Structure 1
Amino acid sequence: MVRQGTLGTISRLAFCVLALTQLSSLVPTHASPVSPHCQNPEQPSDSFQSQLQQDTHQIPFSSPRKTLSVDQELPHKTVTLRHILHHGGNRFPRLFKKLDVSPNDVALSELTTGKSHTYRLKAKAARAIQPLDKIQGFRSPGKSLGPGSWSEEIIPVPDVTDKQTVIELGMMNFNAYTEVGSPGWYDLEGHWNVNWTFGWEQEGIRGHVYSSSDNATVIIAVKGTTAAFLGGGGGTSTRDKINDNRLFSCCCASVDRTWRTVCDCNKGGNECDQKCVEDSVDSEEVYYEMGLELATHVQDEYPNATVWLTGHSLGGGLVSLVGLTYGIPTVTFEAPGERLAAQRLHLPMPPAIDWNDIPHYHFGHTADPVFQGVCNGRMSTCYISGFAMESKCHTGRICVYDPVKEDNWGIDIRKHRLADTIEGVLKVKDVPPCKTQDDCEDCIQWKFIEDEEEEPKP
């Protein structure tokens, strides 16, 4: 027999989920009625405020951070499902909804699905660069990157030498492709639950936010490309292709005459307007700005928490750029090289800083042409599908498995699928060492032109 309170919980969840599924076709106005249980972040519900107050009794946000030493082992974390979030993207720029989920809702979901949405991650302390000006500190062309631009701190980061931690982070990213409770979910082990879910519709960002039960650690996992040839093909595929071709191509997908470019930066032949491509990756259509808004909201919600970022494919490239902007530890899986986009966004990088002081770790393997930066050329699947994946250099450090040499795998776009990587690589191989790409260069066949200032007319 189901209690009346449980029925009320189910009804409230069903109503809010139904409302979220309609967001792609309805643009909300200030006069639109909103359920008290589906609030904007600026107008939190009483239940959320009450729960947040209870959480702060567990660990006050004003508590000072303990002094850490490099490579110090830290305790495992615990998280609980609390909210569902949706960022509407550039089509619905003011749409940012949140659904509060009670502990009873979590218990009911686990009871009805038979799945334990829990994780166990290992952490350690590492040296990191923390920009003093989080958003704009490294964004202006020609800005001095002197010692006054950042501080060096020792902070908690994921222990990427621990095999189970890497697997768990991979599972978090796999779940960013699926809706809550769908048959595609992994049974996640340990002490982590899904916390926030955002961007399920055709516009915006998709993923999950996980938080520890004491509010000390928050993890944001962002969805990657939903391209049909990768087994995805969801509603965000068109927008994902635009982002891929702006962030990871040399000159806005100026591959050859048969291609339709995503910006007008080509000056003829292999010459490209440098200022133009910089503007193209910093436009409203690119997910980078949405990622900054999401990270800002999470940090405002948990001001004293340690935030980690993770993502797969396009999601990995996106969170890496956001992580560089904020100084947030980041772990990606099979992400294309994002160093080129970081340069165009004027984010911090050598020689001003050392990549070893940036806690960014990019996991991938030698059979994945996207991660390796070789998914290009007329015979490649990326070319045929309209993806100009030309960059190969990553920020921070890369952690490369070698199934081509060790298991005779062939290079195949299907090996870019995260499920294949989790089952065939992460679970069966030891964690590789993470190293910087010191001698890597992108787009060496291109010449990037800096426009000279026009002389004033008489």
Structure 2
Amino acid sequence: MLLVGRTRIPALGDLPSPAIHPSPSNDQFQLKHIFHHGAGSQHYQIHRRLDITPEFLAATGLDDVQMSSDKSDIHTSDLEQVYAQNDWPEAFQNRNPWTMRFPIKSGPPVKVQRLAERHTPNFIDSYLEYAINIKGNPRLLNMINLEWEQPKEISFPDVSDKDTLVSLALISSNAYVRFPKSEEEKRKSDWTDLGEEWQPDQNNSDLEFGWDGEGLRGHVFVNEENHTVVIGFKGTSGAGIPGAGEDETTASDKLNDNLLFSCCCARLSYLWTTVCDCYEKAYTCNQDCLEKELVRKDRFYQAVLDVYRNVTAMYNPDVYDIWLTGHSLGGALASLLGRTYGLPVVAFEAPGEMLASQRLHLPQPPGFPRYLEHIYHIGNTADPIFMGSCNGASSSCNAAGYAMETACHTGKLCVYDVVTDKGWNVNVLNHRIHTVIDDIILKYNDTPECVVQPPCRDCFNWRFVSHDDDEDDEPKLPNPLLPHRSKSRTSTFTSASTSVNMGFETSVSSQPPQSSTSQPPKKQKCLKRAWYGWCSEWGDDDEE
């Protein structure tokens, strides 16, 4: 028997169904939509939505599908083999992931403080662009005077409740579920275009956007009664293994993994092909380049922003509470999205995403402690990816082409110590979501305590530089509240510069330019300002 709260239920082995006790009807979440966002330079503008309606389920036969319990044994620690598995847990093999209802219990209300204009069109994008342009300079960011809402109470999933953790983990696992139909039946799926129209490649006419093709997938679960939405983001799939097929979004997954969780573009040695061009020399990386890579339109961070905007277009965030979850890469992306918009997050086995959050310069309320962000990372001590130890020449991650070098997380950590409690060995197999559900969450009587991670620093042996490190410390950007001004010196000076003439070097004297007149410069005024107060257009002030 297992003890859950004050209710005793039969152990997992005694039941044909999972050990989740019934919850009131208003706590039930069901799959309503699937979003698939394209990735890569060719397809990043493609975004589609599949509505999981009763009519769709009946027409496709998914309302009566049964998950197969025939799983091949896994006797390898290769990361690609791990990611290639169908991650629907064995304890729920007799449950239909397309129609299953997930009970989620809300805990006591929590306080959050969020940007007042976070849902204003283009506001977040403008902020991110500005923050990166000024290299996250806190003094210049403070000049924006971002408007923050007063702290308010919102609902939050009860992470101390075992059944709630199982349901959120199943939602994360649901995002891996493949479409169990033939190619011809898949092509009849009723996808709705939200971005550019999807045009399959002529050489791959059977390619079905959603399960076949590169991109990010988000599964949306809705509870209409209490106006709550849960978005589960798919994590990393296998890449480059025989039999994996075209139905895994593999190449983009690996690229974003290596960009988000490595020190410098997955530059581990000269043998590695980097995922961006920011590496300069031994243990030296261009910080400006890294930050711009993360916000590129064809990267997954922009994809999760787009998914969230389309979900909130359907479910008004002023009416619905929106929670985020995901496994592995999906959990890290949920965490970055949650920090951007101030949303509750429960992530499973996510790699350390604090470094990516810092590189994006995500907004944080002034004086608001990090632990009140309500981002919770569920993990176990035998998972080297979550613990940040899946690196080094002999690691499974290295052998599979993944540079997983980060260990620092935002928010709080809720860690199952299976190494001490159960004697497990550290192995990448323990990263799988169905292992977490079957062998950890369901086997423990209690959920782990959630605590703030001790002081942590990633990539301490790297030097991150900017192109203007040898120039002025302050970026050469005009004051957003004053007219452009030219730099002046309190004293004149003579500096030697070198010019080249017909192959001969000649030393010349350079003087600061002298004004031809003694008239003061004409007064200017700001004609047009952007949202953050930056003056985008200046003109002469003709008023006397």
Shorter-chain TM-score above 0.5: yes
Moved more, 255-264 or 379-388: 255-264
Q: Which amino acid aligns with 1:267?
A: E
5 Å matches for 1:292-441? Answer: 292-303=305-316, 304-349=319-364, 352-429=367-444, 430-441=446-457
| TM-score normalised per structure 1 | 0.74
Match of 1:88 among 22, 34, 38: 38
Q: How many angstroms does 1:398 deviate by?
A: 0.8
Partner residue in 2 for 1:178 = 177
Gapped runs of 5+ residues in structure 1? 1-73, 183-197
Q: Which amino acid aligns with 1:117?
A: M
Q: How many angstroms does 1:150 deviate by?
A: 4.7
Partner residue in 1 for 2:250 = 237
Deviating above 6 A after TM superposition, structure 1's stretches of 4 or more consecutive aligned residues are 229-232, 453-458
Question: How many residues are aligned here?
Answer: 371
The superposition leaves residues 3-23 of structure 1 with CA deviations (integer Å, 9 ceiling, x where unpaired) of xxxxxxxxxxxxxxxxxxxxx
Identity, % of aligned positions: 39
**RMSD of the alignment, in Å?**
2.9
Q: Alignment partner of 2:404: what SS? A: coil
Gapped runs of 5+ residues in structure 2? 1-23, 67-94, 119-123, 182-208, 477-496, 498-509, 511-544
Q: Which amino acid aligns with 1:78?
A: Q
Is 1:247 aligned to residue 249 of structure 2?
no
Indicate if the aligned counterparts of 2:26 and 2:225 stay in contact, CA closer than 8 A. Answer: no
Match of 2:49 among 87, 98, 106: 98
5 Å matches for 1:121-200? Answer: 121-124=104-107, 125-134=109-118, 135-136=124-125, 139=128, 140=131, 141-142=136-137, 143-144=141-142, 148-180=147-179, 199-200=210-211
Partner residue in 1 for 2:188 = none
Q: Distance in 1 between matches of 2:422 and 2:309?
A: 43
Q: Distance in 2 between matches of 1:351 and 1:381?
A: 40
| TM-score normalised per structure 2 | 0.63
Partner residue in 1 for 2:540 = none
Q: Alignment partner of 1:280: what SS? A: helix
Indicate if the aligned counterparts of 1:334 and 1:370 stay in contact, CA closer than 8 A. Answer: yes
Q: Distance in 1 between matches of 2:235 and 2:104?
A: 22
Match of 1:208 among 219, 237, 252: 219
Is 1:118 aligned to residue 111 of structure 2?
no
Q: Which amino acid aligns with 1:436?
A: V
Q: How many angstroms does 1:110 deviate by?
A: 3.4
Partner residue in 1 for 2:500 = none
Q: How many angstroms does 1:227 deviate by?
A: 2.7
Q: How many angstroms does 1:265 deviate by?
A: 1.4
Cα separation, partners in 2 of 1:333 and 1:89, compared to 1, 3 Å? same
Q: Alignment partner of 2:147: what SS? A: helix
The structure whose Rg is larger is: 2
Cα separation, partners in 2 of 1:137 and 1:402, compared to 1, 3 Å? farther
Q: Distance in 2 between matches of 1:400 and 1:215?
A: 30
Q: Distance in 2 between matches of 1:423 and 1:112?
A: 22
5 Å matches for 1:249-268? Answer: 249-268=262-281
